[in-house]
Amino acid sequence: AQKITQTQPGMFVQEKEAVTLDCTYDTSDQSYGLFWYKQPSSGEMIFLIYQGSYDEQNATEGRYSLNFQKARKSANLVISASQLGDSAMYFCAMRPGSSNTGKLIFGQGTTLQVKP
Amino acid sequence: GAVVSQHPSWVICKSGTSVKIECRSLDFQATTMFWYRQFPKQSLMLMATSNEGSKATYEQGVEKDKFLINHASLTLSTLTVTSAHPEDSSFYICSARGISFPENNEQFFGPGTRLTVL
């Protein structure tokens, strides 16, 4: 079964500190893609970072990095130097390689609150 | 580039009426569009996948006759909630996938439509 699990419903972090949001996935596909999206209170989905299953290096995009541990089937998001504007809901998602439509499967989400 | 719009951004309707939501890809041709439903503080649940010119593929448990999806052109897909009831109140989000998009960002999301059924 294809599944994404985010076990942290809510997280707090102090401004300027780093925070790790957990994501584990389950798939029997050899090829797949992993995504992280940010959803602020306005509702829009903002793409943050992508990791392909065959990528040997962890993806990085500015303050965002993805800690990809393939054997453990985990794809944690690390946000460095948190800012107040990072307060939002964060979703981990997987695009199964076996899907020819490119559909995404989303985790339950983690609400991050950055404290000043 | 790669902008997806939705209209309306919010709608309030009476129980029993039908509501149509439009999803448009503004600067690219969307071969595939996806419709999601999201309840407050919850995940996005895929409702259906639509390809231009063909019937939509609905996820298990989604009523085809309740949620009519039409993908008539490469830039427009519509979701019609028929005979809406209060339990249909939700946030509906579409996303679009274009030809030759890089695999690291294949879907672009619309801003969402908040539906409230009274």
Instruction: For residue B19, give how far its alpha carbon lies from the nearest alpha carbon of chain A (Å).
Output: 20
Please, what is the average pLDDT of chain A?
95
- Written as one letter, the residue type at A95 is R
Q: Does B83 touch chain A (CB under 8 A)?
A: no
Are A104 and B34 a contacting pair at CB < 8 A?
A: yes
Q: What is the pLDDT of residue B107?
A: 86
Instruction: Please provide residue A93's backbone torsions phi and psi, each rounded to the nearest 5 degrees.
Output: -140, 155
What pLDDT shows up at residue B49? 93
pLDDT, position B51: 87
Distance of CA B103 to the CA centre of its chain: 21
Mean pLDDT over residues B66-94, rounded?
95
Contact status of B52 with chain A (Cβ, < 8 Å): no
Where does residue A39 rank: exposed (0-12), middle (13-18), buried (19+ CB within 10 A)? buried
Residues B96 and B8: beta-carbon distance below 8 Å: no
- The answer to whether A96 faces chain B, any CB pair under 8 Å, is no
Contact (CB, 8 A) for A77 and A20: yes
Distance set, CA B99 to CA A36, A102, B15, B79 (Å): 22, 12, 39, 22
* pLDDT over threshold 80, residue B106: no
Of B106 and B83, the structure prediction assigns the larger pLDDT to: B83
8 Å CB contact of B111 and A42: yes
